[in-house]
Structure 1
Amino acid sequence: MSAFQEFQPGSIVSARGREWIVLPESDGPRLHLRSLGGSDDDVIVIHALLERDPPKPATFPLPDANQAQRGTQSSALLLRDALLLKLRAGAGPFRALGRINVEPRAYQLVPLLMALKHEVIRLLIADDVGIGKTIEAGLIAREMLDRGEIQRFTVLCPPHLCEQWQDELQRKFNIRAEVVTTGTVERLERGLQTHTSIFTEYPFTVVSLDYIKSDRRRDEFQNACPELVIVDEAHTCAEGISRGKHQRYRLLRALADNTERHLVLLTATPHSGNEDAYYNLLGLLNPAFVALKDVSRADHPLYKQLGDHLVQRRRIDISEWQDSTSFPQRETAESTYKLSGAWGALFNEVLDYARELVRESEGLDTLHQRLNWWAALALLRCISSSPAAAVRALQTRLRRAEADGTVSDANQLADIEAMGINTVLDGSSELGLSTDDIEPGAVVGEDAERLRKLVSKADGLAGDNDPKLQQLIVEIKALTKQGYKPVVFCRYIATAHYVAAALKPLFKEHEVVSVTGELSPGEREEQILALRDIDKPAILVATDCLSEGINLQDVFDAVVHYDLSWNPTRHEQREGRVDRFGQRASKVRAMTLYGEDNPVDGAVLQVIIRKAESIRKALGISVPMPEDEARISQAIMQTVLMTRDEMKHNFSLDFGFDSQQSIEEDLESKWQNAQDKARRNQTIFAQRALKPEDVIPEFARMSEVLGNEADVRRFVTAACQALNAPLGQYQKIMRLPYSELPEALRDRLAQSGIESLRNIDFSYPPASAAEHVHRTHPLVAGLADQLAEEALKGDGNAVASRAGAWFTQAVAIRTTVLLVRLRTQLTMTRASQRRELLAEEAIAVVVSGQNAPQVISPTDVLTLMQRPVSRNMAPEMRQRQVEQALQQVQTWQPTLDEIASQRANELLRDHRRVRDAAKAKGTYDVYPQLPVDVVGLYVLMPDAQLI
C-alpha cells in the first residue's frame, strides 16, 4: 500500500489514465473527482490507497497547435461561450446562482442579501402577491447549502401547497425534497432504524403544517428539526392574545426559541386583521419586536432594527429597479344578471325556506338553532352559486356528531361552527382561507316532500333557464374574442362541473377543462401543465383549490369570479394566479359576475368586496378583511334572512347589529382603521435596508461571471447551427429540430428528463407554448458540456476549437486572446468547523504585441472576437501562429499567476461583503490553484493588405 499524498480542492490530479479536478467533498484518501471538461454529474469517487496507480499531481494541458488548423473565429466563440456557461461553482459573490434553474431578477436578490447580513437568519418576506416569494426563499436555502452553512432544511406550509413546493424546489433549485404529510409518512418511515427521524434521514423536506402541529409530532420535529426552516403562509401560524393556544404558533414559537436556527417566514398578508397576531408574528423574528404594538414613534430604534429583518414591497416598488421585470396591468370590470323567470321564482322559494329554518329554531336549544342557521346559510350560498350546487345542498343532511352520551353538545356545537366557517363561509384570513369546495349540507328536518320539489325545480334550471350561466357565456365569448384565456372560479365542485359542461359544446375551438378538489394537488398540476402543450387555447373552470399554490400565468391571463367570495382576500388570491411575475401578457382581466337583484350578492358586494377593492387601488396592496370576519359575514346574511324586529329579538343569533346600515357603519370604521394602519405600516415597515444601487452591482457581477440571456441566445443558436440542427423561427418563438441533434446530446437531455423539445424562448416570461431556455437549462448545459469535452479531448470533429487564428481589422498589432479558467479554493472556518469550497471562473486575457497580459471584460472580449474576419487564413498559417504563441505562454505565466491571485482576493472581498455577519465568528481564506488553466488560445492578426 502506497503512501497517500494530500490534494487540495481545485487541484488537478492524474488517475486512471485521465486528468481530474479534486472536489471539496474529498476527505483524506477518499477523493471526489470531476473530469477536466466534464459536467457536475461527471464525478467519480476513488480511494487513493486502493488504486493500482496512485493519483499524481497534474497540470491542465495547453491547447494543441494541431487544432488550430480548424480553429476559426466561430469555433473559438463557441468554446468561449461553452466555457462561460458550463461553470456552476461561480466565483461571484453568490455560490448558488450557477446551480439554479431560474434567472432571478435584481429585486429578488434583496431578501438573499438581507439574510446574509445576519449570523442567524431571521427574515419575514412579506412581498405582495405574485412578486416571487418562493424564488426569494429558495435562493436563501440554496445559497446556505452551497456555502456549507446548513446541511438540512424544511419548508412548513399548508397541506395543499406541499406538492407545489416540492416541484418548485426540484425544477428551479435542483433540490429533491420529500413531502411529509399524513399520507406519505408511513412510506417515508418504512425501513428507518429505531429512534431515527424522517427529518434526519431526509435532509430536505416539505411538511404539512396540519400534520406536524399536533403535540406528539411537534415534539419529534423539534428534536430533529433542520438548521433552516421556511414557513409559507406564515400569518396562519400567528396567535392572537385573545385566542386560545394555537398549535401552529406553539410549534413556531418553540422553533424560534432556538437562537441558532435560521427562520424565514413568507406571507403576502402579514397583517391578517388581528393586531396581537401580527406582532406575535414579528416576535418570531425577535421577541423584542412584540413591544412594537405599544410604540407610536416611527423613529423608535426597534423599528430600525426590524427593518433589517422585514422586506415588504408592492408592485409599484419594483419599478425603481429598472430591470426587465414588468407586471401586467390589471383591468377590472363587473357584469350582472337578473333573477328572472323560473330562476327568480326558485331563488325566492329557497330564500323563504331558509328564513323558515331560522324562524323555526327560535325557542330551541343553541345547538339546534345553530344547525338551522348554518343550513340556511348553506342554502343561500349554494343557490347563489348554481342549480347544481343547490341540488347537492338540498340532498345532503348537515353533518353533525350523533349524540350517544359521549359527545357533548358543546363539542358538537364547536364542530358545527368550524364546519360552517370552513364550507359555507371561506375560512378566515388568520387561520387560512378554506379550499374545501364540497357543497355543504342544508338538510336538518324531515320535510322530504318540500325538499324533493325544490330539488326538482333546481334540476330544471340548467342551461337556457339559468340567467347567471347565460351571462357568463356572453362574457366568455367577449373575452375569447379579444384573445384572452380565462379562468372561471367557482365556489363548489358541482358548480365547476356544471359550468364546464355548459361551455364545452359552445367553445369547440377551445380546450375546456374543470379542475376541482376531487383531484390531488399533483393531479391538478398535471392538468394545468398539459394545457401548455395543446394547440388550442384553453378555458379553465376551477374551484378555489387553484386559488393558492399552482401558478396559472403560463397559460391564462383573465379571471372571472363566477361566484363571489365572501372574503376579499380570496378574490385577490384568485386574480394573483394570473397577475404575477412571469405573466407574458401586458394586460390581465378580472371580471366579477353577480346578480343585481340577488340580495346575497348585493350585501357581500356592497359591504365587503367593493370596499376592499377601493383600498387596494388606493394603497397598491390588499388589506385583509377586518378582524372577526366570520361574525361580520354572518351578520350580513342575518340582514338577508331576518327582519329588523327579528334581528332584535332573536338573541341566540345576535351578532351585535340590528340592520345592514349598522353593519356598514361598523365595518366602514374598521375598514378605515385597517387602511390607516396599512398606510402607516407601509411607511414604517418599508424595506430600507437595501436600495437598487446596493444590489444592482452584485446582480451585474453575477451576470458577468455566469453569463446572461444574450450569452445563452448566442451560444445555443451558434451551437445548434454548428451541429447541423439550426434553429428556426415561428412568430415569436424559436423552433428546435430536436431529432437532428447528435445522439450523444439527446442522451444527455434524456438523463435530465427531456425526451423532446420543440418550442423555446430565451426571454422570460417565454412566449406561449414555448419553454424558457436559461443558462442552467439542460439544453444549454448539455450543449456546453458536450462541446467543451470534445474540444478538450482534441476530437478531430469537434465544432469548438481550443486554438485558432484569423485576420481582422479589430487589431493594429498581433494580439493573442487567452481563455483562462481560474480555480480558487475558498476556506471558511467558523466555530471550529472548516469548510472548503471550490470557485471557478472563466476570464479572457489579452496580450497585445510584446505587452504584458491583461484581463479584459466579457463585453470587450466579445467585441474583439466578434469583429468580422477580413480574409481567409491558410490552415498551415493558423497552426504556425498558434505555435509561436504557445512558446510564449511560459513567459506570461508569472503575470497569469498574479492575475489569479488578484481575482482570488476579489472573490474573498465578494464573499465577505455579502456575508459580513460571518466575520465576527469566523475567517475566510482563499488559495488560487496554480498554474491557471489556459483553455483556449487565439491569435488575431492585423490585416496588412487593408492597412
Structure 2
Amino acid sequence: MVVVRDEEWLVRATEETADGTLVHVQGLGELVRDTRAAFYESLDAVTALEPAQASVVADHSPRYRTARLWLESTIRKTAVPLGERALSVATRGLADALSYQQSAVRRALDPDNLRPRILLADAVGLGKTLEIGMILAELVRRGRGERILVVTPRHVLEQMQHELWTRFALPFVRLDSAGIQRVRQKLPATRNPFTFYRRAIISIDTLKSDRYVASLRKQRWDAVVIDESHNLSNAATLNNRLARLLARNAEALILASATPHNGQKESFAELIRLLDPSAAPADGELDPAEVKRLVVRRHRHSPEVARVVGADWAERQEPHNVLVPATPAEDAVAQELAETWLWPGRGGSPYSGQNATLFPWTLAKAFLSSPAALQETIDGRLGRLGTDDQAAVEQRALQRLAELNATTLRTPSAKYTRLLAHLREIGVGPGSAARVVIFAERLETLRWLHRSLPKDLGLPAEAVELMHGGLADDEQQRIVEAFKQAHAPVRVLVTGDVASEGVNLHAQCHELVHYDIPWSLIRIEQRNGRIDRYGQQHPPRVTALLLEPAGDRFAGDVRILAKLVEKENEAHTALGDAAALMGRYDVKGEEDAIRAVLAGSEELDDVVRPVAEVAAGNDLTALFAQLFDASSDADPTPTATDETRTAGAAADAGGTDPGSGLYDDDVSYLEDALQQAFIDPTAPLAGQGVGWRRDAAFGTVELTPPPDLVQRLEVLPQSYLADRRVTERLVLATTAARGKDRLAAALRDDSDSTWPDAHYLGPLHPVLDWAADRALAALGRNEVFAVRGTVDAATVLLLGTLTNRRGQVVSAAWLTAEFPVPDDPSFAPINPYGSAREALQALGWGTRRDNPGAVPDLDALQALVAPAVRAAERHLATVFKAAEQDVARRVEEWSRRLDRWEHEAGALVQRDQVKERRMSVAQERAMVEAMAPDRQLVRPLLVVVPESGSGGVKA
C-alpha cells in the first residue's frame, strides 16, 4: 500500500517505462475508493507505507467480523505467485472439470516459459473458448490480467463475450459497430480509445484498420487473445501486421485455431514467432521441441480427451449421403455443361477469359449448388464480357446455358424436393421443436432457400433465418443467439461458410445438411464441428444432398464429392484432423486439387490419401499430423488429480480461493461484507440497506446495487445489463450447480435473452471485488487488528512477498512470529506455513470466533510489530533465496536462447524481415529482464493474543 496525494492506495502493478516507474493503483480511502489510477514516481511522491511502523488497533465488532473481512480481503487482493503450478480459480468457473482443458491451462502458465504464450490448436469442438477463459481467469488472479484485449471474427464477438462473462465472471466491453460508437461519444477525438476500457473484445476486421494502428502502438496489454489465428500466418496481410503489433505489446499471448497451419513451414513459423520471436530460427526452419512447447493439439478421439468427455459428447452418426437423381431439365443443363464447357469437343471451350480451365468448373459448382446460383454466375459473367469475336462466341454459349437453366427455375428442383422430404423426416415443421442448420456456399442458393422454405414447410417467415458474411456484425450475432434459444421461433438456419468457424450451434440442434458439398475436407470438417462438439447430448447427424445427373462423367464427379464426406468422417475418427489427408492445410489448395480430380488430371486416391497411410507416413504431412498429436506425448503435469477433483468439489460447493479458510464460501463473505457496510442490508436502498435476500434452498441471493457498485457494473456486457437490468436488481447464483442450471435455462425460457437471470457468483465476480475494497477501507492508514486466538503467547501473522520489476508476485510466504518471553520482544521465533489457511488454523482462526471485547494493552502489542517484521525479513532472506535463484536460472536460460537466435541471425542481418524480428527479440529481452525478482516485502496482518488477555507482553 502506498500514499499518493495524501490518499491511501492499493498497488495493483508497477511498470518500468521510458518515463520511469509507473504505479497502477486502486483507491482505498473514502474519497478515492472506486478510483483506479496510475502515478509516475517522477511526477508524484509515491510513499510506501512502512510495515514495521504499523499501528495496532482493537476490533470491537461481533465475532471479529471487521478483522475477518479485512484479512480475507487482503488475501483475495494478494496475487497468486507466478510460479504457482496449482490452479486457483480456473477450476471454479461454470466450465466442466475436464482434465485435458486444465492441462492446456497448466501448459500456458508453465513458469519455465516466463511469459504465458501458447497456441491452442485443439480440433473443432473441444472447447478452446473455455481454455481461453480459464487461462485469463488464472492470469487475473495472479496479477497478470489487468488489461486484456480479445480479438475474434465479428460473428463470434457476442459468443466469446457471453462465455467469458457467464462462466468466468470476466466482463469484456464489446467494441462492435455499436460499441465503438458509444466510445466515440464519450471520448475526445485525441484520446486513445484503448485506454478507456481495461478489458475489451473487438473484431479483427475492425481492429486491423489503419485508423487504429497509431493508438495500438502506444498501448501495452497484460494479455492478448486472437481467435481463428490461422488467418495471421501470411506476413503480407493486415491481419499479420496487427498480430505482430499486438504480440510486441503484450506480456501474455493466446492464439487459437483448429486449423493452425497450411502445410507450409514458413507460414506456420510466422505463428510461432508471434508467440516467441526466438523460438523459430532466423532461417525459418521449425524446431519440433519449440513447437511442442508452444502448441497444444488434441482431438475428439485423443486418449486424453476420449476418457473424460463421455456422454457429454455424443458420438457422430455415420454420414448420410443422399444421391438425388436429376430432373430432365437438370439433366439437360448437366449435358450442356459437360459437352460445351467441361469436356468440349474439337472446337474447344467457348470461354474467352484468362483461365480457361477454371471458369467451366465455377459453372459446374454453381449448378451443383442450385439453379439460382448458376443463373447468378451466368449473369455475372455476361456483364463482364467484352465485344470481340471470342466474347461473342462465349456470350452465345452462356445464353444457351441460361435458357436451359431457366427451365429448371420454373420446375421443381430435385435436390430441393429431397431437402423438403428430409426436413419433414427429421421433424422440422409446424408445432415441432426440431431444428436444422443448412450450409451452402453460394449466396444466391442461400437466398433462394430462405425465400422458399417457410412456405413449403408451412412455417412462418421468422422460423427460417438467413446468415451470411454480408450482414452487419450485430445482426449475425442476433441470429446465432436466437438459434441457441429453445423458445425462439427459428427452426431452420440457412447459412454460408461464415458460420463454419467458431460458432456454437449445438445447443438445440443435432442435424446438419450440406446442401452443396465444399471441395475441401477442411471446410467440411469446420461445418460439421458446429454441431459435433463437446456438450452435444444427441448423436449428431450430417446429411449431404448430391444432385446426380444421368450422364456418366458428371455422375462420377458427384460420387467423388460424396467420398469427400466419407473421408472426412474417417479422418475425424482416426486422426482428428481431416486436413492431414490432403496435406495442403488450406481451403483453396484443397479446392484446386479436387478440381484437378474432377477434370481427370489427378486420381482421388493420389490427392486424398488413406488414413492409415497418413498415420504411418514419414513425409512432411505426416510430420505435421504427429507434431500436433498430443496424445502420443501427453502433458507430464497431472490431469485428473486429487487437486482437480478437490477444486471441482469446491466449485460445486461455492468454495473460496485456495489458501483462505476464513469463510466457507463466497456468498458468506459477501453477506458479512454487507452486514459490515450497511445498518440493515435487508432494508431497501433508501433505508440504508440493499434489499438483501438470501434463498439458501434455491441457491440464490439478491441485492439492489448501491451507486458505487452500479458504477463498477457499467463495464458488464451491455446486452446483459439491458436484458437482466442488474443495475436495478442483481440476482446471483451461489453454487456452480445453480449457476449451470440458470445458464441452461436461459436457452430454454421465453425471455429472448441468452444471459442467465441469476449470474454465478464466481471468485472473480465484480461484486466480490467491490466488497473487498469496502472491507479494506475499514482500517486506517497502516493499521493492523489485535484479536484473540488459540495461541500460548502473543503472535503476529505476517505475509512475505517477493516481487519483480513488473510488480508481480514471484513467491509468497505465510509466517507467524511468536513472542514467548514477555520481557524480550527481540526473541521472536518464526513459524512458516504452506498457505494462509494453515496459518489461520494454527492461530485458531479456522472457524468463526466470539469476540468478548476489545483486546487491551495495545501499546504493548504495538512494540511487537517491528521485531516481528525484522525477524520475518531475516527468515525470508534465506527462504526467498531459492525462489530468486530459480527465477534467475529461468531468466538466464531465456537469455541464452535469445543470444543463440541473434548469433544465428547474424548472417541474415540484411534481410528486412530479420531486422524486424531483431526488434521483437530486443523487446523480448527487456521484458524477460524485468521478470527477475528485485524486492522483498513483509506485511504484518494480525496480532493474536491468548484467549485470557494480551499474552502477558510488557511494553
TM-score tier, shorter chain, comes to: 0.5 to 0.7
Q: How big is the shift at 1:155? A: 8.3
Specify which of 506, 513, 525 is matched with residue 572 of structure 1.
Answer: 525
- Separation (CA, whole Å) in 2 of partners of 1:817 and 1:774: 42
- Separation (CA, whole Å) in 2 of partners of 1:698 and 1:255: 38
Q: 1:751 to 1:767 in 2, by over 3 A?
A: same
Q: 1:82 to 1:494 in 2, by over 3 A?
A: farther
Question: In structure 2, what residue type is equivalent to 1:565?
Answer: P
- Contact map agreement 1:383 1:389 (CA 8 A) in 2: yes
- Separation (CA, whole Å) in 2 of partners of 1:463 and 1:310: 47
Matched, 1:487 2:460: no
- Contact map agreement 1:126 1:269 (CA 8 A) in 2: yes
- Separation (CA, whole Å) in 2 of partners of 1:60 and 1:534: 59
Specify which of 632, 636, 641 is matched with residue 691 of structure 1.
Answer: 636
Q: How big is the shift at 1:326? A: 9.0
Provide TM-score, normalisation by structure 1.
0.64
- Contact map agreement 2:225 2:253 (CA 8 A) in 1: yes
Specify which of 435, 454, 466 is matched with residue 514 of structure 1.
Answer: 466
What residue ranges of structure 2 are gaps of 5+ in the alignment? 96-100, 550-554, 658-663, 673-680, 683-690, 747-754, 822-828, 896-928, 950-955
- Separation (CA, whole Å) in 2 of partners of 1:200 and 1:367: 55
Show the counterpart of 2:744.
Answer: 767
Specify which of 915, 918, 929 is matched with residue 891 of structure 2.
Answer: 918
- Contact map agreement 2:228 2:256 (CA 8 A) in 1: yes
- Contact map agreement 2:693 2:701 (CA 8 A) in 1: yes
Show the counterpart of 1:3.
Answer: none
- Separation (CA, whole Å) in 2 of partners of 1:759 and 1:499: 43
Specify which of 503, 519, 525 is matched with residue 477 of structure 2.
Answer: 525
- Separation (CA, whole Å) in 1 of partners of 2:793 and 2:490: 52
- Separation (CA, whole Å) in 1 of partners of 2:109 and 2:355: 53
Matched, 1:347 2:330: yes
Show the counterpart of 1:635.
Answer: 596
- Separation (CA, whole Å) in 1 of partners of 2:794 and 2:315: 51
Q: 1:12 to 1:203 in 2, by over 3 A?
A: closer
More displaced stretch, 366-375 vs 857-866: 857-866
Specify which of 665, 681, 688 is matched with residue 714 of structure 1.
Answer: 665
Show the counterpart of 1:15.
Answer: 6
More displaced stretch, 35-44 vs 148-157: 148-157
Q: 1:670 to 1:574 in 2, by over 3 A?
A: closer
Show the counterpart of 1:676.
Answer: 617
Q: Matched residue of 1:931: which SS?
A: strand
Show the counterpart of 1:67.
Answer: 61
- Separation (CA, whole Å) in 2 of partners of 1:478 and 1:391: 29
What residue ranges of structure 1 are gaps of 5+ in the alignment? 1-9, 240-244, 294-301, 413-442, 639-654, 796-801, 806-812, 829-833, 942-947
Q: How big is the shift at 1:938? A: 12
Show the counterpart of 1:268.
Answer: 258
- Separation (CA, whole Å) in 1 of partners of 2:439 and 2:606: 30
Give runs of aligned pairs for residues 592-607 of structure 1, distance below 5 A: 592-595=543-546, 597=548, 599=555, 602-607=558-563
Q: Matched residue of 1:711: which SS?
A: coil
- Separation (CA, whole Å) in 2 of partners of 1:707 and 1:820: 34
Give runs of aligned pairs for residues 147-296 of structure 1, distance below 5 A: 233=228, 235=230, 266-270=256-260, 272-273=262-263, 286-288=279-281
Question: In structure 2, what residue type is equivalent to 1:112?
Answer: A
- Contact map agreement 1:156 1:232 (CA 8 A) in 2: yes
Q: Matched residue of 2:316: which SS?
A: strand
Percent identity over paired residues: 18
Q: How big is the shift at 1:488? A: 3.2
Q: Matched residue of 1:525: which SS?
A: helix
- Separation (CA, whole Å) in 2 of partners of 1:859 and 1:484: 51
- Contact map agreement 2:92 2:647 (CA 8 A) in 1: no
Give runs of aligned pairs for residues 876-891 of structure 1, distance below 5 A: 878-880=850-852, 883=855
Show the counterpart of 2:825.
Answer: none
Q: Matched residue of 1:927: which SS?
A: strand
- Contact map agreement 1:548 1:573 (CA 8 A) in 2: yes
Q: 1:915 to 1:360 in 2, by over 3 A?
A: farther
Q: How big is the shift at 1:518? A: 2.5
- Separation (CA, whole Å) in 1 of partners of 2:504 and 2:90: 23
Q: How big is the shift at 1:461? A: 2.6
Question: In structure 1, what residue type is equivalent to 2:736?
Answer: F
Specify which of 562, 565, 573 is matched with residue 609 of structure 1.
Answer: 565
Provide TM-score, normalisation by structure 2.
0.63
- Contact map agreement 1:727 1:736 (CA 8 A) in 2: yes
Specify which of 698, 706, 713 is matched with residue 749 of structure 1.
Answer: 713
Question: In structure 1, what residue type is equivalent to 2:855?
Answer: E
Show the counterpart of 1:656.
Answer: 601
More displaced stretch, 627-636 vs 198-207: 198-207
Question: In structure 2, what residue type is equivalent to 1:621?
Answer: D
Q: 1:91 to 1:404 in 2, by over 3 A?
A: farther
- Separation (CA, whole Å) in 1 of partners of 2:193 and 2:709: 38
Q: 1:80 to 1:315 in 2, by over 3 A?
A: farther
- Contact map agreement 2:92 2:651 (CA 8 A) in 1: no
Q: 1:507 to 1:737 in 2, by over 3 A?
A: farther
Q: 1:85 to 1:254 in 2, by over 3 A?
A: closer
Q: 1:666 to 1:392 in 2, by over 3 A?
A: closer
Q: 1:14 to 1:600 in 2, by over 3 A?
A: same
Q: How many residues align?
A: 816
Show the counterpart of 1:831.
Answer: none
Q: Matched residue of 1:117: which SS?
A: helix
Question: In structure 2, what residue type is equivalent to 1:381?
Answer: K
Matched, 1:789 2:789: no
Show the counterpart of 1:129.
Answer: 124
Matched, 1:385 2:369: yes
Q: Matched residue of 1:611: which SS?
A: helix
- Contact map agreement 2:373 2:445 (CA 8 A) in 1: yes
Matched, 1:43 2:36: yes
Provide, for residues 663-701 of structure 1, a one-character-per-residue CA deviation record: whole Å limited to 9, x for no partner: 445544698347735665555565559522399799899
Provide, for residues 245-272 of structure 1, a one-character-per-residue CA deviation record: whole Å limited to 9, x for no partner: 9768997999999999998765433453
Q: Matched residue of 2:317: which SS?
A: strand
Q: How big is the shift at 1:924? A: 0.9
Q: Matched residue of 1:354: which SS?
A: helix
Q: Matched residue of 1:541: which SS?
A: strand
Matched, 1:89 2:79: yes
Show the counterpart of 1:461.
Answer: 412
- Contact map agreement 2:818 2:830 (CA 8 A) in 1: yes
Q: How big is the shift at 1:395? A: 4.9
More displaced stretch, 304-313 vs 719-728: 719-728
Provide, for residues 11-44 of structure 1, a one-character-per-residue CA deviation record: whole Å limited to 9, x for no partner: 468935xx54355559789995520699995335
- Separation (CA, whole Å) in 2 of partners of 1:270 and 1:450: 41
Provide, for residues 748-770 of structure 1, a one-character-per-residue CA deviation record: whole Å limited to 9, x for no partner: 43454533366857368753426
Show the counterpart of 1:436.
Answer: none
Specify which of 312, 330, 334 is matched with residue 297 of structure 2.
Answer: 312
- Separation (CA, whole Å) in 1 of partners of 2:213 and 2:530: 36
Question: In structure 1, what residue type is equivalent to 2:468?
Answer: T
- Separation (CA, whole Å) in 2 of partners of 1:224 and 1:511: 47
Q: 1:314 to 1:579 in 2, by over 3 A?
A: same
